Every structure is written in structure tokens, then in C-alpha cells.
Structure 1
């Protein structure tokens, strides 16, 4: 499951809020922690100082070695929850004084200074204070008296105050949340506004509006990015305009050349037809040259016709003359006209009626079947199938099929799979023209390989085509 938001706006908001809240929380927690430590230290110093003052006030009045009355008097001067010991004598034993630990006793007996210890007992915090009593001689020297004073103090009140400081830190962090959200919204809006403008500009450019631009604001990185995008759009606009001009010039050149070649080719065709009738009476070398000239002339005529057809598609001037056609019958007529009936098998469910341009359907079938006969192997099969919405025509052969290198380029213009076959009868435009004719009828033409091997071309034509007429 993806927990982190995907949108840039949402991520900015979440990141800004997290940083602000965590920062406020960390600052509040640090302040509360420092205040808590200071409170504990101050309380401990106050208690120890009070205990020290009380002991100093009564110490000169004590008798040494002390008796039980002396210990009781010292305990009363220090206060409740106090334990005073001297050898086997005890004053104030019991109650909370039972919390005095052995570690504290050892520390007090091993030195001449006041010792403190904080413990937790009975689910409450406690401060333990222990100090030895020393006797000061007239010359100022101090000797241990053997008296030990231990005091136990409940720190529950201090802990409550610390809890209050912690709650205040939490409340402070919580109060920072709405402010952080508001600031995040303002920051995200100011940061993302130029980004949205760039996005809209990019969409307009992608849709073909080469005049789309974004106005830069400010002098930050986003403004620099906006200027760069505008420069890129200007460069792209210039390149697209030059490319369109080059394409238009190329189409016009092909159309003009094809048109200009029609008249001399018609004359040349008539000449080679006459030459064909007399070729049999020529010498072998002359007859071979004549037949080659006839073949190349016919190939040149087909190439020019294909070029003119392609130029019509490119310029959008290709038109269809739609009529009610029996697709199965049209396939048979196409094969019969080219002498392919004996070499191609047709599988059709009977009469399949479809509104289509008969001439363009004939071109599609001729190109697909001719391609199968030239580059495939028997058997070549044409299947016709119909459904309520479309008619499907499939052409398969028994050849090696289309390789992975050839398949993406099957419908490219002038593409030939075998570069060694540069003199094949085809112009390299047949399949491209077949695809354009299929799309002119609102259909589609695809290429692939049959499951049992061999190339497989499938033509889909809709029942209700929207074609240019």
C-alpha cells in the first residue's frame, strides 16, 4: 500500500506540515525537558540546602558521644521522614525512612560529604539525602562524630509539574498544526502556480499549439525554467514549421513528378506494347533486351501510379466511391483478374455484403495476396468472416513468416525486408497503400504471424464506414 501522496501539491503540504510540527514539537519538547531538569535540580538543591541549614543550626548544641535523646533532638530539628543513626542507636526508624538504600548508607559512611540519590518506589519518585555529622574543634579541625542523618522526600509534586510541562509541549505542537497547514497552503500555492502554468503550456504544445508560452515571474529557478521552456517551444515551433515545409515540398515534388511522368509513360507503354508483339521475331539478344524493357516499363508505370496514390493520401485528396459490394465476390474477382485463382484458396461463408469502394478493396486484396505469393509460400489462404459490426478479411501463407526485425516496418513506405531484392516487381509502397485504404474506410490493417507459421495480415472494415467521398 502506498502511504506517501503522489501529487506534488500534496507532498509539499505533507512535507511542510511535518517539518513545522516536528520542529515545533522538538523545540517544545526540548524546552520542557530543560525546564524539567532545571526544576528537579532546583528542588533538590533547595531541599538539601534546607536540610544542611537545619543540621548546622542544631549541631553545636549536641553532646558527644550522643545518646538517644540527642538523636531524637537532631531528628526533630531536621523534620519528619528523617532517620538519625549512631552506632546501634536509631531515631525515626520506620515509615518512609525504610526507603533508605544500602548504597546510600555505604556512600555516606565512606566519606565526609552530603550524598543524594533519586529512586522510584511505590510507583512514586523519591529523593534520598544522607550526610555524616562532623565535630569542629576550636582550632577548626573537623572529625567524624559517627552520627549519620538520612532524609526521605516525596517528589510526586515535582513530577506532576513536569507532566504539566510535557502536556504544554504537546499542546504547543498541536496548536502549530493548523498554522503549519495554512502556511503550507500559501507556500504550495505560490510555488505550484508557475508549475501549473508550465504544465498547461506543455499540454498546449503537445496538442499542437506551437504558439503556447508561459510568462516568467520573478528571478528564481522556476522563472529560469519558464524562460527555458519558452525557448524550447520557440525552437520546436521553428523546427516544426521547417519540417512541415519540407514535407509539403516533398509531397508536391512527388505529385508533380508523377504527374509529369504520366504522359511520356503512356507513350512509352504504347511503344513497348508494339514492341511486345514483334519481340518473338527478334534475335535472341534483342528479344531478351526487349522483354527486359517491357518488364521495367510496366514496373515504372506501377511505381508512378503508386506514387500518385500516396500523394493523394498525403494531401488529403483521396476520395472513395462507396457502393454495396459482396466482399467474397470482390475477392474472387480480384484473384481472377490477376490469374491467381489456382494458387490461392478462398474461405467465405457465402455472400458478405458491405458498403465499400470496390476499387480500393481490390487494391488492398491484390497487395496482400501479391505479397503472400511473392514472399511467402503455399498454401495462400484468404478467409472472409462477418459480424454485426464489421467484416474481417485474413490473408495467410505457408512461408517463414515475418521476423521480429521486419514486423515493425511492414507498412513503412519503400521498405523491403530483403535488401538483396532491390529489383523485385514491387515498389515498396503496396502495403503502405493498403493500410491507407483501410483507414480511409474507417478500418484497420494489422500484420503478424500465424500460429502454425507463415505471415498473417488481417483487415477489419466497419459495417457503417465514415469515408471521404
Structure 2
């Protein structure tokens, strides 16, 4: 028996690839998430440290310098005050506002970095406020505070400082770059670990697949090695082995029962032949003398003869099927004229006038003429009994194949019957307990066709009626192989 070849696993659609991809994606997502969190936390920590340092230094410097400031100040004293505060703050730019007067430690500094919202926050809340701003892609920290004295009303003097956050931005960017550079090794390591894990996990799966394919090919004794442990794969392997053992046992029992049933049919058929021969002889004598018997006895004699003949045909069919089942059926090949053989089938049974034969002359093929006669006789007999005229018999040979068609113009076969036409003892009308045939005719025809390397097909033809088609290789003289 020929089994379909198993397809090789597709490289990009296999479980191994999906496991590796999933493993790498999880690792990559985890790494990216960890990188984002680390960057956010490190950036926040750096900025908070910078802000605390600026706030503390700015407050101390303002308190220290404000003690020497005379109130109310003029523009010169404000400028000197701003310069003094900036001297203790590194590269910070200090801006001082007193009512309508404004002074700066650096006349060229961009005073727009001190936004109206920051000035309003300082004035309204009367306390130190901070704000991060960005200009032309560079970050800055602006801090402002009102100047208060130990006694007296609010001075109306506000001091602002602006310092660059470029260094802090570069530090956090460096951290991000270093973490990003580490992503590739992490992904590669994840891929290697995924391959190792997939190999470990999929080895039992591959063994199960191979064992399953061996079972499908008929090797029911195939088993898989049970992995150690109690995980899901180990349980799956044990369940597979238990199922395979139960299946092997069941199939073995079924095969033994089938073999016993076939032997029983063959033995019974063989044992029936001897008494059937005697019954047939007696029935023939009774049938010949039926004219001289009383009417009731004559009917009984003819009934016995008909039923004995039917029983003989059934026994012959059973014997034939038992030879097919046991593999004892053999072809007796010889070269024949196909048209002449088919005409002989019709003539032998008196069907020549009832069948429209379209048989081309000169088609010579190497076949078992007796078995081809059985096939065609069964198909034509079914068409004559169950179909409607005209019944046609057509043969042709082309392309290395011989085709013989038997068609009728009857009602055809119901769709639910078509798949069972060649089943043994199948009858389309289940209510019909008796028929002229044994229910084995089409099954025997199919087995004879298979012996020739061919088959028999059935279909309903357009316009009504059924068509049976015998197809077999066209063996010509010198091409006959072993049968």
C-alpha cells in the first residue's frame, strides 16, 4: 500500500521558530522596558540632584549678598547685586527685578528664559520657585526667589538665576546609550537560550511526530522513549505509548477476527459446493420433469431449481471474494482482441440485441479475458436489471489506458447510494430482502479491475441514467508484467 509522503516541516512556520521568536521578543520587550525605567529614574535623580544643589546654593548666595544691599536700590546697585550673586553660582546668569528696574549679571543673556509664569509664581506665592525651560534644543533650569529682610514689609526685590542643564542631559544620554548598546548582547543571549530551550522541549515532540508517522504507515509497534520527570511532555509520551499499546492490541484482535471470518466464509463456501452439486443435479432433473408434475409440484420444482441456482451463484461469489481477501487471486494474462472479447460477453448471455455496443476493432490488449468478462457482465447485467434502455457499451484505448463504459438511461443512483455501490452485500433498497444478485457483483468487478492495476468508477450521467467506467492500464504485446 502506498502512503503519502510526509511533508518536511516548514522552516519559518515551525514550533522551534515560534518559540525562539517569542523568547527573543519577551527578552527584547523586557530589556526595552528596563531601559526606559532606568533612563527615567536616572534622569529624574540627576535633575533632582541638580535642582537641590542650585536651590541651596542660590538661596545661600542671595541671603549672603542681600545683607549688604541698600534699599531702595538704583540700577547700578542692582547690577552690582546681580553680579555678586552670580559670582558664587558658577556659570549661572542672575537677573534682579525691583519694581520697574531690571538688572542682569550678563547683559547679553537671554532674559526670556525667565518666563512670566515663573515671575508670577514668585510674586504670588512669595517663595522660591523653579521651572525647566528649553530654548533651541538646550535645557535650562530657572529659579526665582523674593528677597526678604528680618524686619519690615516685603522688599519687592525678586532675584532669578538661570543655569544650563546641558551637562545633566549629556549624562543621562550617555546612560541611555550604554544601556542601548547592551540590548544587542541581551537579545543574542536570549536567542541562544531560546534555541537550547526549544531543542530540549521539542525533542520529545519530534519523537512523538516520528512515532505517529510510523503508526500511520502501519507500524503499530512503534513507541517513544518516555522522558524522565513528571512534566506535561513526560505525561504526553506515556499517554501516547499507552494509547499505541491499546490500539495495537485492538487492531491485532480485529485482524485476527477478520482472518477467522474470512477462513470461515471460505470453509463454508467450500463445504457447500459438494451438497450444492447434488442439489443442482436433482433440481435440474425436477425442472426437466416439471411438465409432467401436478401444477403445485411443478411450481415447487421450478422454485427449488431457481433458488438452488441462486445459492450456487452466491457460493461461487463468496469463493471468489475469499480468494481476493487471501491474496490467492491471480491473473492469467494473454493478448486478446478487446472488442471481440466484449462481444463474446454479450453473446454468451444473450444481450447482443439489448445493448448498443460501440467497440472499435483492432484494439489488442494483454488481459485476463475471464476476469474482464466477469467485470463487464456484472456492469451490463446491473444496467439491464436496474436501468432503462438504451444500454450502451463503449470501449476505447488511448494514452496508455483502456476505458470501458457501461451506461443506461434509467433514473440513476441517489447521491447517498453512490459512495456505497462497491460495498459488499450493499443494496440501495434496504427494504428489499431478496434480489436476483448476491450483492457482491460490483465488489467482485472492482477487485478484478484492481488486479489489472485499474479501477471501476460510477457516476450519474447528464440527462439521466448511471454510467460505470472501467479504467485499466493498456498492456500490449511484450508489455505484460508479473501478475
Tell me if both proteins adopt one fold, taking TM over 0.5 as the criterion. yes
Contact 1:326/1:352, CA 8 A, preserved across alignment: yes
- Rounded to whole Å, the distance in 2 between the matches of 1:211 and 1:340 is 54
CA deviation after TM superposition for structure 1 residue 77, in Å = 2.1
Superposition CA RMSD, Å:
1.7
Residue matched to 1:436: 447
What is the CA–CA distance in structure 1 between the aligned matches of 2:298 and 2:363, rounded to whole Å? 47
Residue equivalent to 1:371: 382
Contact 2:78 2:96 in 1 (8 A): yes
CA pair 466-177 structure 1, distance change in 2 beyond 3 A: farther
The aligned counterpart of 2:282 is 271
Question: What's the secondary structure of 1:215's corresponding residue?
Answer: coil
User: Residue 30 of structure 1: SS of its match in structure 2?
Assistant: helix
- Out of 302, 327, 339, the residue aligned to residue 291 of structure 1 is 302
- Aligned mates of 1:78, 1:260 — CA distance in 2: 129
The within-5 A match list for 1:304-315 is 304-315=315-326
Task: Determine whether 1:91 maps to 2:103.
Answer: yes
- Determine helix, strand or coil for the equivalent of 1:386: strand
My pick for the range that moved more, 447-456 or 241-250, is 447-456
TM-score, length basis structure 1: 0.95
**Pick aligned residue for 2:189 from 166, 179, 183:** 179
**Would the aligned equivalents of 1:114 and 1:130 in 2 still touch at CA under 8 Å?**
yes
SS of corresponding position for 2:147: strand
Partner in structure 2 of residue 45 of structure 1: 52
Cα distance in 1, alignment partners of residues 217 and 12 from structure 2? 28
Partner residue in 2 for 1:148 = 158
- The whole-number CA distance in structure 1 between the counterparts of 2:447 and 2:481 is 12
**Which residue of the partner structure matches residue 7 of structure 2?**
none
Asked if the contact 1:335–1:341 (Cα under 8 Å) also holds between the matched residues in 2, the reply is yes
Distance 1:11 1:388 in 2: 48
Distance 1:285 1:128 in 2: 131
More deviation in 288-297 or 299-308?
288-297
Pairs aligned (count):
463
1:283 CA displacement: 2.3
| Residue pair 1:127, 1:155 contacting (<8 A) in 2 also | yes
Counterpart selection for 2:261 from 240, 250, 273 = 250
Counterpart contact for 2:397–2:474, Cα < 8 Å? no
Equivalent residue, structure 2, for 1:82: 94
Secondary structure of residue in 2 paired with 1:385? strand
8 Å Cα contact 1:201-1:213 kept in structure 2:
yes
* 1:451 match: secondary structure: coil
Separation (CA, whole Å) in 1 of partners of 2:46 and 2:277: 112
Q: Deviations over 1:91-128 (max 9, x none)?
A: 01652222221111111110121111112222222222
Deviates most, 308-317 or 15-24? 15-24
Gaps of 5+ in 2: 1-9, 87-91
Compute the displacement of 1:468 (Å).
5.8
Divergent runs of 4+, >4 A: 465-469
1:199 alignment partner in structure 2? 209
Distance 1:320 1:4 in 2: 48
1:144 deviates by 1.9
1: CA distance, partners of 2:309 / 2:85: 129
Mean Cα deviation higher: 81-90 or 59-68: 59-68
Question: Which of 69, 74, 78 is residue 76 of structure 2 equivalent to?
Answer: 69
Deviation at 1:462, TM superposition (A): 0.4
Contact 2:333 2:480 in 1 (8 A): no
Q: Does 1:261 align with 2:289?
A: no
Report the CA distance shift for 1:251/1:337 in structure 2 as closer, same or farther (over 3 A). same
Q: Could you say which residue in structure 2 is the equivalent of 1:117?
A: 131
Q: Structure 2 CA distance, aligned partners of 1:468 and 1:318?
A: 13
Question: Is this contact kept in 2: 1:442–1:467, CA < 8 A?
Answer: no
For residues 157 and 376 of structure 1, the distance between their equivalents in structure 2, rounded to whole angstroms, comes to 100
Give the structure 2 partner of residue 136 of structure 1. Answer: 150
Inter-partner Cα distance in structure 2 for 1:403 and 1:144: 108
User: How far, CA to CA, are the matches of 1:33 and 1:215 in structure 2?
Assistant: 52
Q: Distance in 1 between matches of 2:243 and 2:68?
A: 98
Q: Alignment partner for residue 224 of structure 1, among 235, 238, 246?
A: 235
The answer as to 2:187 corresponding to 1:161 is no
Greater shift, 238-247 or 348-357, is seen at: 348-357
Tell me how far apart the structure 2 counterparts of residues 208 and 345 of structure 1 sit (CA, whole Å): 46
* C-alpha displacement of 1:5: 4.4
Q: Give the Cα–Cα distance (whole angstroms) in 2 for the partners of residues 210 and 11 of structure 1.
A: 31
Aligned partner (choices 425, 432, 437) of residue 421 of structure 1? 432
Matched, 1:213 2:227: no
Query: Counterpart in 1 of 2:361?
Result: 350
Q: What TM-score, normalized to structure 2?
A: 0.92
Match of 2:141 among 112, 119, 127: 127
Deviations 1:336-360 (A, max 9, x none): 1111111111112323111000000
